[in-house]
Amino acid sequence: MIPKYRLSCVGGGEVVEDISLLSCPNGHDSLLRTGYCSRKLHLAPHEGMYRYLAWLPVTTPLLPSGGAVTFTSDELSRELGLTRLSVSFSGYFPERGATLSTGSFKELEASPTMQRLQELGGKIPVIASAGNTGRAFAELSARCKRPVVIVIPEKAIPRLWTTEPAHDIFLVAVKGDYLDAIVLSNTLAGVPGCVPEGGAKNVARRDGMGTVMLDAAVTTGRIPDHYFQAVGSGTGAIAAWEAAMRLIRDGSYGDRLPQLHLAQNEPFTPMVSAWAARRREIIPAEDMPDAVESIGKVMSDVLTNRNPPYGIRGGLFDALLETQGCMYSVPNAAGAKAEKLIRETVGIDPDPAAAIATAALVEAVEKDIIGAGDHILLNLTGGGYERIREDFTLHAVIPAAVIRPDEPRDALVTRLREWIRHHGRKPDH
């Protein structure tokens, strides 16, 4: 059988034979990327994101899975004076066909990641998260009854809920911040039977998010001229760029990359700052001084990644370079106004990050950075939490352990090994 896709190193261009790898075996500081043998985007007869199975690195869909939906809002277009504005929504908005029940586009990453690991041999992913990612993986675990290990900062415990009771989650809370969670997750990912989920380096995650761009192109018949999104790690924006490259190669959706318009939330704006200087490196002292204090001030904390895949080959700097991208620094006040605008025009409560993206679009209109008749895609990356609370019973995920960052891990590792014995690789799969 001809394999569905190949992995190659963006920096070196060489094919990577072992498709389970997360980084280049030849040591290039680069993302790996999938190249699909099917040049054409043939639509599959599935609901949600698996309509785009042709360009997802799995052979079988993980169903049921929702997807991003693309629509137009006459009210929002009129309010902004734009004639060809499309909205992509990844969240819960049943009237529009949006059924991501954890409310964010992290579900688009979690679903193919879980499926791919299953197909590659059933290792258990270990995820460090500050909230939305952990919840997305928790939900997928509950729905598909597959094991996951999730490590979060203690203060994120209230964000970890599922819409079905979950029985296959090993949740660890750390009395510290997101960085402490990452450090602990690295230890746990070393336990036999587990693998690090990989973040932006995980191609399933990026290609899953790429379905936002695919759905927009299929719905509107073309690649947009401009793509607006709020970024934390930039993974979603890299994915949009990669999806657009595949669409160009397909030949049916146009031949120009969309210009990326990406927003961060003031005062924590490391990528805005580095890009303004057209610098590939983020210099902490210059681009994110007083990081901890700044992170405490933003309205959208999913946008506060301190170590984003920005400079790495194939990462966000390259995406901005190739698309002549723009970055926006959005203050909370502009975000709050944009949140109101989305509620009143689109009729849904946006995730704070989606409000930040909208505020960047407002700024681009006001400053004439885009034309009133340009084809624009606004990615509302999350929202609908109010409706989720009405329509579902939310089940809290209870931590197996709450530990201090400096505590010895031996006891925890022993418990995890024990848990894997019960939850790892079920005979029925």
> Between residues 338 and 403, which has the closer beta carbon with respect to ligand PLP?
338
Quick one: which of 49, 231, 260, 359 contacts ligand PLP (CB under 6 A)?
A: 231
Contact window for ligand PLP (CB under 6 A) among 1-9, 56-64, 229-237, 327-335: 229-237
Contact window for ligand PLP (CB under 6 A) among 166-174, 232-240, 332-340, 390-398: 232-240
CB of 262 to ligand PLP, least distance (A): 8
CB of 352 to ligand PLP, least distance (A): 8
> Between residues 114 and 230, which has the closer beta carbon with respect to ligand PLP?
230
Quick one: which of 100, 230, 298, 376 contacts ligand PLP (CB under 6 A)?
A: 230
- The size of the interface with ligand PLP (CB under 6 A), counted in residues, is 16
Quick one: which of 96, 106, 261, 423 contacts ligand PLP (CB under 6 A)?
A: 106
> Between residues 65 and 233, which has the closer beta carbon with respect to ligand PLP?
233
Quick one: which of 235, 259, 265, 345 contacts ligand PLP (CB under 6 A)?
A: 235
Strands 376-380 and 148-153 come out as: unpaired
Binding positions for ligand PLP, 342-401, rule CB under 6 A: 351, 353, 381-382
Name residue 264's beta-bridge partners: 329
Residue 13's CB is within 10 A of a number of other CB atoms, namely 9
> Between residues 268 and 419, which has the closer beta carbon with respect to ligand PLP?
268
Quick one: which of 196, 208, 224, 234 contacts ligand PLP (CB under 6 A)?
A: 234
132/212 Cα distance (integer angstroms): 17
24/32 Cα distance (integer angstroms): 7
Q: Is the peptide bond between 267 and the residue preceding it cis, with omega within 30 degrees of 0?
A: yes
CB of 6 to ligand PLP, least distance (A): 24
- The answer to the question of residue 66 lying near ligand PLP (CB under 6 A) is no
- The answer to the question of residue 104 lying near ligand PLP (CB under 6 A) is yes
> Between residues 270 and 382, which has the closer beta carbon with respect to ligand PLP?
382
Apex CA 144: angle with CA 349 and CA 396, to 5°? 50
Apex CA 296: angle with CA 293 and CA 302, to 5°? 125
- The answer to the question of residue 302 lying near ligand PLP (CB under 6 A) is yes
- The answer to the question of residue 112 lying near ligand PLP (CB under 6 A) is no
DSSP string, 236-255: HHHHHHHHHHHHHHHSSS-S
Cβ neighbours of residue 271 closer than 8 Å, sequence gap 6 or more? 231, 234, 262, 264, 282, 287, 308, 310, 316, 327
Taking the C-alpha atoms of 388, 297, 303 and 224 in order, what is their torsion angle to the nearest 10 degrees?
90
Phi/psi at 92 (5° precision): -115, 115
- The answer to the question of residue 325 lying near ligand PLP (CB under 6 A) is no
User: Tokens representing 234?
Assistant: 């930039």
Phi/psi at 148 (5° precision): -140, 150
- The answer to the question of residue 111 lying near ligand PLP (CB under 6 A) is no
- The answer to the question of residue 236 lying near ligand PLP (CB under 6 A) is yes
Quick one: which of 101, 113, 129, 132 contacts ligand PLP (CB under 6 A)?
A: 132
- The answer to the question of residue 127 lying near ligand PLP (CB under 6 A) is no
DSSP string, 260-317: EEEEEETTB-HHHHHHHTT-SS--HHHHSTTHHHHHTT-S-GGG--SS-S-SSBTSHH
> Between residues 385 and 413, which has the closer beta carbon with respect to ligand PLP?
385
Contact 95, 60 (CB under 8 A): no
223/218 Cα distance (integer angstroms): 9
Interface residues toward ligand PLP, by CB under 6 A: 104, 106, 132, 230-236, 302-303, 351, 353, 381-382
